[in-house]
Structures are given as C-alpha cells and as structure tokens.
Amino acid sequence: MKQVVQNYKSGELSVLDVPVPGCKPGGVLVRSAFSLISTGTELMKVSEAGMSMLGKARSRPDQVAKVVQSVAVNGLPATYRKVMGKLDSYTPLGYSLCGVVEQVGAGTDDVKVGDLVACAGNEHALHAEVNWVPRNLYVPVPDGLAPRHAAFGTVGSIALQGVRQGEPQLGEVALVIGLGLIGQLVVQLLAAAGVRVVGADPDPVRCELAERLGAVACGDPGSAAVENAVAELTGGHGVDQVYLAAGGGSNQPVELAARLARDRGRVVDIGKCRLDLPWNAYYEKELDVRFSRSYGPGRYDPEYELDGRDYPIGYVRWTERRNLACFLDLAARGRVDVEPLISRIADFEDAVETYRQLKDGELKAVAVLFRYPGEAGAGEAQAPAVAVPAVRRGTAAAPARPSRSPVRLAFVGAGNYATSMLLPHLARREGVELSAVVTTTALSAANAQRKFGFARATTDLDAVLGDASVDAVFVVTRHSSHAELTRRALLAGKTVFVEKPLALTEDELAGVLAAVEESGNDRLQVGFNRRFAPLLREAKARFGARTGPASLRYLVNAGRLQHGSWYLQQGTEGSRFAGEGGHFVDTASWLLGADPVSVYAVAPSGNEDLQIVLRYPDGSTATLSYVTAGAPGFPKETLDLVADGKVLKLDDFVRASVYGSKRWVSSRLPRARDKGQSAELASFVKAVRTGGPMPVPLESLVATTAATLAVQAALVGGAPVTLARSL
C-alpha cells in the first residue's frame, strides 16, 4: 500500500510503498476513502522539517532539553547516534480520516466489514491507503453523512473539546481568535449552542466565511471593528469566553483576549500560539486560563487509546471517542456544515505536490482532503455499484404442486399490522384455514387465536415449520428478523409471505437467495400491496401502454414517529425508509414496467427527509420524496405519472384521474382507502392453492429490495449508485 511520509532531517516528502498493517485484536483495518490535511498542525510539522538543524532546535526547545539530558546520562556519541537515527527516519502525517472497515480484529463487535467509520489519531488515522485503528479511535458514520464530511471528525472533536472547556451558556458572547479550520468549526459549534460569536482574523476571506457560518461579526484583530462589535454585544462588559485558535509566534492573541474578556472571563487555548501572559491584565480581571487537550479525555492515555479501556460515562461524560461521535452526529443533522470549509479535494497520488503548494502559499486553503483510489468524482465520493443478486433456483428444484383445500396458513408474529391489515381479510376468506400462530410471548399468541380462530397457538417455531400440513407461512415480525425467518421457512419447503422489508442488508438478501438455490423453493411473496390497489390498477389500465420514457413523482407524507416507536431503533431495525421504502419503489417500478438501474438520494440538512431518484432502462425516472416534516392533515401518498402526452394522478388511494385525449376521473369516493391488501392476499392464496406462479416474480422482489438498500449507499457516497445485475 502507499502512505505519505516525511524525512524530518531532510524535509523530503514522499508517497512510499509500505506493507499493509496487520489487523490486531481490539481494532479494525480501515481502507481510506478521504483523509483531511490539518492546514495548521501538519503544515507546522512540514515547515519545521524544512528548517536547518539550528532552526529545528529553536522551534522545539522541549526536544533540545531532552537531548541535553540524554547527553548527561548516555554521553555525547550515543546521544548523537540516537538523535540522528531518529531524525533520519520516515515519519507519518495525518490524523483525521474516513474509510471502510476491511477487516475486524478479535474482540471487536461494534462494527463489521463494509461499515463506514471515521478515525482519529496521529498514529492510526494516517494519510495511508490502509490503517489499523484501535476501538476507541473510530466511530461508525451516521446515516446520510458523506465520507468527505466524516473525514473532518478528528478536527471537529478538537474544536468540540475546546468549546466544552469554555463551558458556554445560552445567550453568552464569545470571541474566537484565529479563523482557520479549527476556528471556523468553533464558530459553528458556539452558534449551535446559542452563543453569539465575534471572530478575529487578519484574512478578510476567512472573516467573511465565518460570518456566513454563524458569527455575528468578524474583523482584523488589530482593527477597531472587533472591539466595537464586542462592546455593542456585551454592553461594554467584554466577552464571556475567548477561544485562542491561532498559531504563530505573535503574542497578539493573548493580549487581545485580556483586553476584550469580561471580568472573570474564560480564555481557552486550543491552538498553539505564543502564551506570554500579560500578568497585570490577567490578574486584574482574574481571568480563567484553560487548555484544551486535543480530542478530549483519553488522549495520550495508552490504556484508553491502545487497549480500548473506556472511562465510565458517569465519571467522564465526553471522552475523545464520544466527542468524535457527537461531532459526526451534529454534522449529519446539519448543525455543523463542513462543506464550505473544503478548499480542494486532491487525489492521494498528488499528495507531495499538494503539500508543496500549501507550504509555498500557492494554495490558500482552510481544509484540503485527499481522495483515495476508488473514490471518483469532482469533489464527490462515488458510491460503489450495488449488486442485484441473481436468482438461482437450483438444479433440483421441486416443481410447485397444488395445495390441498383448504389452504392452511401459519402466522409468525401477530402484531398491529398482522391483526389489523392481514388477518381480518384471511379470517373471513373461504377456503382458508388459520392453522397456527407463533409468537415469542404466549399471551399475544393466545389473543390472536381467540380473535381470529387459529387452530393452535404456540411459541415453538420449529414445530410449525416441521408440520407438513402447513402450506404457507406468513412472516409478520419486526424487520430485523424477516430475512432469517424467511430463509428458514423456504428451507422447510413452505410458501412464504413476508411483510416488507425482505432484508435490511445485502448479506441478508444474499442469505434468502442462497436458501432458494439450496432448496429449489422460490415460492416467495413480499407484502408490496400497493400494486394490487383496485383504484391504482384501474388508473393504470386507463392510462394504457406508453411508447416513450415517463416521469413519475411520488410524494410520501410519512409524518413524525411517536416517541417510543420501534421504528426509531435504527441500530437493530434499520432506517425507517429501509423498512417501508420498498412499498414506493415497487409501486413506481410496477407502473413503469421495469426495475431501476440506478439510485440517487439526498437528505436535506437537519432532518430525516429523503429525495430519491430512480432511473430505469428506457430513460424513465421516478422521484420519491419521503418527508417527515409535512402537515399531518395533508394526504399521505400522492403521485403523478407523465408520458406520451398523458398524465395519471393518484390522490392517496381515494381518487384517481387520467388526462389524455379523453379525461377519466374515478366516479366516487370509496368508503375507505383500499391499498390492495385484500387483493394481494387473494392472489397469494390462489397461487398457494393452485401451485401457479407467484403474484410478483422473485426477480422483481429482489430488484426492489436491492434498490431500497442502495438508497443508504447513495446517501453515504453522495453520488448515484449503479444497480449491477449479477450473472
């Protein structure tokens, strides 16, 4: 693999071929997608390396003191050999990146291969194609946060820890001195915390950027503008906190802090600036000077960083790992916007030239990212193609055989949807026998048995799957169990009806199809009921065949979830869209008569709304707007299909119309919205009874599931995802 290194003696920078690190226990191997250049810390290190030996000594008096002590203990010749050996070695650069987990070490169970993570540490989040990162120095990237934005995690944690040291309160006023990368992030974090911010920096471009990102006013530290703004905002008392985010050898930041801070104000040093405190000024105001140690508690503690020993949250609320996760969460929710800070995204192979341009001043930048091989696109991460698994039914597939009459059904799960939308239709359907209901709690099974007339109620799934008299199994449990239960039922030879979603991950989907191939049993239906809705089917028939590409718009006014809803348990049950989005993808694909070939998705900052564009083989597109912030009184689902001079319009399964050479409008309002559950179940029962084809081809069910899963990949990658059909 390749890694950016520097020889501290000569100052030479290079991209070196080095071995891939081993995956040790307690950590993960991460393949880099984007890494961030710290234009402060790293450039200081690069500049020091280019100095003469005397210049290096002057810039690092702390190291000189160690050398002198070593001479006294070990003698001059031994110390000289040790120092020269260390100087004439390659040292790494970098400490903030985002990448994909490639291998998981023993004892690590919070992430898996393929997960996107943000990583920290000047020994573990290096500018390298692959890094080994210990447990407490990485966190999973939240849904919807682009990899290039997640690469800011470490510097964001540094800024966040500095703000925590200042203990800001709502309504206070703060001064941020130095509006480089850290300073810009501090401005945004303070503004998000309800603090009014004044910025100071000699660069007018950085001042203008800080004002766009939340500062009330900014100006040159030596101008009257900063002092006037502070006086106006504080009534002449001075700011509550000063954050020193500047570097260099000038003592001006420290002196400005003393002049503009209020009595007993707080001064927090985040950067590395000169700290010759003017004693009288700091004493008379009794200023509280604080230091912010990098990412937060745990930094420089080998037991925390290397051994993975966490600090109890009751004693240390914000460790460096929790700071990292917090910053990513703020970025994912739009509370912090790092996109305006990105001055350039350079290819990793151009690292040496990029550093040269930064060092020589040719490139004026707040933040620069390295993009690694496999991350294509002008400033955008190219999401990988998502495979649509091929359906293989096996060479020894058993032919479908007609079921006995009546059709005997078993239900696994008897929650709200099963008892309100499925069982009422089946309980009164002639030729259907509700044979068994399986739940994890005895009482829920007993309730379903009493209400719908199941022949038996049990908690023993294996007994039901092994019962030869059961023709079909309904899987109506929580989302996380759908794929595994479906797989087991298929292997048991049952016809399966599984409520959406079929799977929450590509691995789960592959597991279901492996069961199909192993057993030869492809008798599967997913509860995509909208294509069976009578009103929509009539409207599609009225619209007729089309010759040209179509444009479909689908608005889903999903609304807010109630507190406590299990849909909120995304860690185990998947995202809300992963759970129900297949409904809308399937409806669009059925109306357009094809499966999608690519998916693009964006999530507006600060909310859970999704905008999704599906592209189809003939050039047709479907735009799905899945929104949670709409008015509750507005219809939940509306769609428009436009093609060949015709328009089909559906209003929440209550009214439909088609405009063309003639106009058709559904004649009357139905007594209730019919979203197709009854017709869907009738088709399923008929297929079970007759042994005929399933209502929806398995290939279509797989394509819809893959497209739904690709939405998350598109959000993470920030680019369209190709749906590649497996051969």
| C-beta separation of 438 from 494 below 8 A | no
CA neighbor of 341 nearest in space, from 144, 556, 511, 188 = 188
List C-alpha distances in Å: 171 to 156, 183, 233, 257, 724. Answer: 23, 20, 10, 19, 53
Please state, rounded to an integer, the average pLDDT across all residues of the chain: 87
pLDDT digits (tens, 9 = 90+) for 9-20: 777 888 988 889
Nearest CA to 577 among 482, 634, 500, 498? 500
Q: What is the pLDDT of residue 714?
A: 84
d(CA 121, CA 67): 26
Whole-angstrom Cα distance, residue 322 to residue 139? 9
Residue 154 structure tokens: 């470490």
| Separation CA 475–CA 500 (nearest Å) | 9
Q: What is the DSSP letter of 340?
A: G
Quick one: pLDDT at residue 426? 93
Strand, coil or helix: what is 95?
coil
Q: Which residues contact 707 (CB under 8 A, 6 or more apart)?
A: 388, 585, 589, 595, 596, 599, 614, 723
pLDDT for 70: 67
pLDDT at 401: 46
CA–CA gap between residue 5 and residue 49 (Å, rounded) = 12
Could you say which residues of the chain have pLDDT below 50? 49, 56-57, 376-383, 396-401, 403, 606
259 is written with which tokens? 């002049």
Distance CA 395, CA 355 (A): 59
Q: Encoding tokens for residue 444?
A: 């829920």
Q: What are 569-608's pLDDT values in tens digits?
A: 655 667 788 889 999 999 999 999 999 999 998 886 545 7
